[in-house]
């Protein structure tokens, strides 16, 4: 890691992050920039294929990208390092595929401690038992295999695995989408309690707007590899400014804004064909936006603050807001 600042106000700072599909030479991430404060739960929302998971994996060092990433004021390299592992951990969508089916839970949870040469064998076991209790599982789970657990229990083990190295930032990539609705609220409450008790920071990735609203302090809305709107969670729901954010809100029946934005949603669905040239040179939402103009086709709108120049205020990427 390279030193960026003596003391940063942010646990995560990313600047102009970009990523490409090698064969198609198509940008998956397009100059993404934002910050996450210490102790903040930052939400990233967007439809499937917009680049959310790629962004999360890039920050965790699992995918090489262009641009800069700083954790706690220190710029990290393009490859995952031992130091980055200690500071940043991920919770994945499918716990069954992220846990080794041939190993018992105790072995899986001890592995990060063994790799980093932390503690004796007895100390590692004691640490695992403590972490299991923190995530709501008793010591008997130490001797069980992932296949013997329910979906919710496996996800608790995944969360425990992410906690083993005492990270500062946890990237949760759709951590409840594969679970039954009855279990989702339990896992969300667990994450919220862990945030409060351990003073963790979260990047919470989801396509579920209700989950984002319940859990997050601020929200970034992503479309086709770009951040199109960024604001406090309540502002996104009370006053969505970008046309795409309104489309997202119109798809959630429970939200009061659904009837207000329903007409825009239908209009936006009329043209979903993506022009690759426009994706690179203009607004990524041009082909679906009912209010699109010629300028949108030619120029990429800057993600600008609508209230001065405060990075924590409401930002939107639209020429006509």
Provide DSSP, 164-184: TT--SEEEEESTTTTS-HHHH
Contacts 24+ apart (CB under 8 A), 60-66: 60/84, 60/88, 60/89, 60/90, 60/171, 61/85, 61/88, 62/90, 63/19, 65/17, 65/18, 65/19, 65/29, 66/16, 66/17, 66/18, 66/19
Angle at 230 between CA 47 and CA 89, to 5 degrees: 70
Give the Cβ contact number of residue 192 at 10 Å. Answer: 14
The tens digit of pLDDT for each residue in 48-91 reads 889 999 999 999 988 888 999 999 888 887 666 777 888 999 99
**Stretch among 14-18, 22-26, 33-37, 98-102 having the lowest mean pLDDT:** 22-26
Is the pLDDT at 259 greater than 50? The verdict is no
Q: How does DSSP classify residue 51?
A: S
| 267-273: average pLDDT | 43
CB–CB of 230/212 below 8 Å? no
| 191-213: average pLDDT | 94
**Stretch among 234-238, 296-300, 308-312 having the lowest mean pLDDT:** 308-312
The tens digit of pLDDT for each residue in 275-288 reads 555 566 789 998 88
φ/ψ region of 219 (left if φ > 0, alpha if ψ in -120 to 50, else beta) reads beta
**pLDDT confidence band for 185 (50 / 70 / 90):** very high
Is the pLDDT at 308 greater than 80? The verdict is no
| 114-141: average pLDDT | 97
> Domains plus CATH for the chain?
2-316 (3.40.50.300)
pLDDT the model gives residue 205: 97
Is the pLDDT at 256 greater than 50? The verdict is no
**Stretch among 71-85, 230-244, 246-260 having the lowest mean pLDDT:** 246-260
| 149-156: average pLDDT | 96
Computed over every residue of the chain, the mean pLDDT equals 87
* Residue that has been written with the tokens 């209010």 in this structure: 291
């Amino acid at each position: 890691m390279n030193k960026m600042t003596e003391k940063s106000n942010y646990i995560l700072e990313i600047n102009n992050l970009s990523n490409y599909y090698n064969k198609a030479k198509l940008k998956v991430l397009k100059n993404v920039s934002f910050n996450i404060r210490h102790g903040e739960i930052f939400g990233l929302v967007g439809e499937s294929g917009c680049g959310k998971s790629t962004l999360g994996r890039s920050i965790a060092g699992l995918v090489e990208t262009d641009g800069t990433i700083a954790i706690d004021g220190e710029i990290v390299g393009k490859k995952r390092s031992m130091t980055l592992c200690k500071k940043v951990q991920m919770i994945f969508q499918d716990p069954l595929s992220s846990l080794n089916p041939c190993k018992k839970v105790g072995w899986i949870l001890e592995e990060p401690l063994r790799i980093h040469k932390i503690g004796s064998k007895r100390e590692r076991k004691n640490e695992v038992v403590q972490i299991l209790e923190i995530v709501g599982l008793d010591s008997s789970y130490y001797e069980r295999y992932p296949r013997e657990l329910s979906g919710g229990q496996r996800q608790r083990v995944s969360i425990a695995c992410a906690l083993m190295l005492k990270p500062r930032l946890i990237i949760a990539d759709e951590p409840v989408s594969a679970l039954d609705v009855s279990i989702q609220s339990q896992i969300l409450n667990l994450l919220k309690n862990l945030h409060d008790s351990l003073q963790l920071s979260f990047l919470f990735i989801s396509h579920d707007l209700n989950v984002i609203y319940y859990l997050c302090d601020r929200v970034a809305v992503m479309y086709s590899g770009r951040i199109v709107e960024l604001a406090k969670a309540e502002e996104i729901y009370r006053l969505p400014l970008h046309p795409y954010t309104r489309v997202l809100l119109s798809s959630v029946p429970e939200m009061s804004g659904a009837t207000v934005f329903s007409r825009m949603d239908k209009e936006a669905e009329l043209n979903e064909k993506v022009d690759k040239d426009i994706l690179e040179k203009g607004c990524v939402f041009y082909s679906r936006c009912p209010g699109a103009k010629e300028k949108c086709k030619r120029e990429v709108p800057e993600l600008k603050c609508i209230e001065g120049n405060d990075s924590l205020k409401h930002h939107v990427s639209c020429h006509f807001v």
